[in-house]
Amino acid sequence: MRNINTLLLALFGLVIFQSCEGPEGPQGIPGEPGINIVGTTFEVTANFTNENNYAEVFDFTEPLVDGDALLVYMLEESPAFPGTFAWRLTPQTFYLEEGILVYNYDYTVDDFSIFLDNSPINFSTLDPYYTTGLEFRAVVIPSDLATNARVDYSDYEATMKLLNISENDFVRIEPKK
CATH value at residue 136? 2.60.40
Within-domain flag for 149? yes
Q: Report the amino acid identity of residue 85.
A: F
Residue 143 predicted with pLDDT over 90: no
Residue 66 predicted with pLDDT over 90: no
Q: What is the pTM of this model?
A: 0.75
Residue 52 predicted with pLDDT over 90: yes
Within-domain flag for 138? yes
Within-domain flag for 56? yes
Within-domain flag for 27? no
Domain that holds residue 96: 41-172
Res. 118 pLDDT band, cuts 50 70 90: confident
* DSSP code of residue 27: P
Count of domains in the chain? 1
pLDDT at 33: 45
